[in-house]
């Protein structure tokens, strides 16, 4: 059985981006919620509008949420596409035999 790669990428990327939007916005509105997660996330994906920076204006926080969203969408879309292609490649080998 083969996987539809486009459907897999969309169905995995959508919830992941919704989760990062919620975590990023909530950690920016609250001082303590998700601060360690966002520090770890921003250490992997650095940008000037991190959630731990208290001196940002409201539109800089909006840019930070947008950067977090884009990083997450690209990472999850790429990884789910690679996993789907790998699964299709491995399942295709079994059908040929």
Q: Where are the domains of the chain?
A: 5-96
Is pTM beyond 0.85? Reply is: no
What is the tens place of the pLDDT at every residue in 74-83?
999 999 999 9
Nearest to 48 by CA among 63, 27, 35: 63
**79 burial level (CB within 10 Å; 0-12, 13-18, 19+):** middle
What is the tens place of the pLDDT at every residue in 36-73?
888 899 899 988 898 877 788 999 989 999 999 999 99
């Amino acid at each position: 059985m083969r996987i539809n790669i486009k459907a897999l990428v969309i169905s995995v990327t959508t919830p992941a981006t919704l989760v990062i939007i919620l975590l990023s916005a909530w950690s920016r509105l609250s001082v303590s919620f998700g601060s360690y997660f966002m520090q770890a996330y921003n250490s992997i994906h650095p940008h000037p509008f991190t959630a731990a920076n208290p001196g940002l204006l409201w539109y800089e926080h909006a840019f930070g949420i947008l950067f977090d969203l884009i990083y997450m969408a690209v990472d999850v879309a790429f990884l789910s596409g690679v996993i789907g292609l790998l699964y299709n490649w491995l399942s295709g080998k079994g059908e040929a035999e």
